[in-house]
A and B are shown apart, each in its own frame.
Chain A
């Protein structure tokens, strides 16, 4: 057995037992309930009996604990394999968490996306933590090799010159259009902003940024963060997730296309 396989098994067992232990510690609220509160696994107990419910719950908690136990392993290595492995791990963990919440704890379907979004945010933080470590390492190597410092973390400094464009497209122009719009037929707000201004104004500056600097994920994030408060003012406090999606997706698409164009050009260079 290789050291890698041994590490997987030890982590699966440790994580799994911790998960099962957690379910065991919560035996009373899960399977018995207390005072006037029914057991959290009430629906499960009804469908497969107390022993079946205990078995299913322990199995799910064990599997979830095991998935958490091996959580750092998919991030080892680099490149596409990290992306694939961590994506697969996220899907498995999200599936198990969803099953625990729905089957064992009886959480309503409508709350599951929120929980999974929280799990996704944790993944993002872990990823960012790993990346900051890699960045510090590369920065150290650059310094030791006498090279230039290289791009700023997540290219925030390189994205700054494009910030005025974002402010103009996502905040100033929508505000001006809202002031000019007819109160009875809001064509500018209902059509011009979501169908023309946000898609084109989001895509093309991001395309230019991608061509010059490569992938800059802070740019689409900033686009969304600027548009969110502006949209609440422009649309009189209405929350329109579709428009928020456009404000995020169009700059993201533009930046990725620009970065792909840049990469292709670099590869063709003799």
Chain B
């Protein structure tokens, strides 16, 4: 595969890296490896000293750390929303703000997560706002 672009930017490098990696992750259920397509992933989160990925089909263990996932996944689609969570922005169905400033994010399948105010800037950057 050949990528042609006028300038070799970080975005092109990201794209090349993701194409080499197949645009997905490998989820684990015990010893069974399950290929996870990026577009199927709702969120990746830290839990019980491990990292998990949630899709509509269920929750899978991942072997990468969250910071590795941040580098691996498309940074315009997957964004860190708190210390322990990365979400797929294409799966967001609602955003609600409480009186105390907490932002509740609802993903497809009714999955609810909470955005830390510290990471709002990252979401804006991902959305180029």
Contacts and interface: CB of A to CB of B under 8 A. Distances in A.
A25 interface: no
A78 B103 CA distance: 9
Interface of B is mostly: mixed
A82 B100 contact: yes
B110 A138 contact: no
B56 interface: no
A133 B103 CA distance: 13
Interface stretch (B39-47, B58-66, B117-125): B117-125
Interface string A233-270: 00000000000000000000000000000000010011
Contact of B129 (A79, A82, A140): A140
Size band of the interface chain B makes with A? 20 to 34
Interface in A160-177: none
Given A78-B116, A141-B95, A141-B124, A270 B100 contact: no
Contacts of B112: 266
B101 interface: yes
Interface string B104-121: 000000101010110010
A138 B100 contact: no
Interface string B85-98: 00001001111111
B102 interface: yes
B34 interface: no
A137 B102 CA distance: 12
Interface string A24-55: 00000000000000000000000000000000
A147 B94 contact: yes
Interface string A66-95: 000000000011111011000000000000
A212 interface: no
A141 B100 CA distance: 18
A217 interface: yes
B88 to A, nearest CB: 11
A134 interface: yes
A191 interface: no
B39 to A, nearest CB: 16
Contacts of A79: 98, 100-102, 114
Contacts of A140: 124, 129
Contact of B100 (A76, A80, A148): A80
Contact of A145 (B89, B96, B102): B89
Interface of B: 89, 92-103, 110, 112, 114, 116-117, 120, 123-124, 127, 129
27 contacts: A76-B117, A78-B101, A78-B117, A79-B101, A79-B102, A83-B100, A131-B97, A131-B99, A134-B101, A134-B103, A135-B97, A137-B124, A140-B129, A141-B120, A141-B123, A141-B127, A142-B95, A144-B127, A144-B129, A145-B127, A147-B92, A148-B94, A150-B96, A215-B98, A215-B99, A217-B99, A266-B112
Q: Which 5 residue pairs are nearest across A and B when measured between Cβ atoms?
A: A78-B101, A144-B127, A79-B102, A138-B97, A78-B117
Interface of A: 76-80, 82-83, 130-131, 134-135, 137-138, 140-142, 144-145, 147-148, 150-151, 215, 217, 266, 269-270
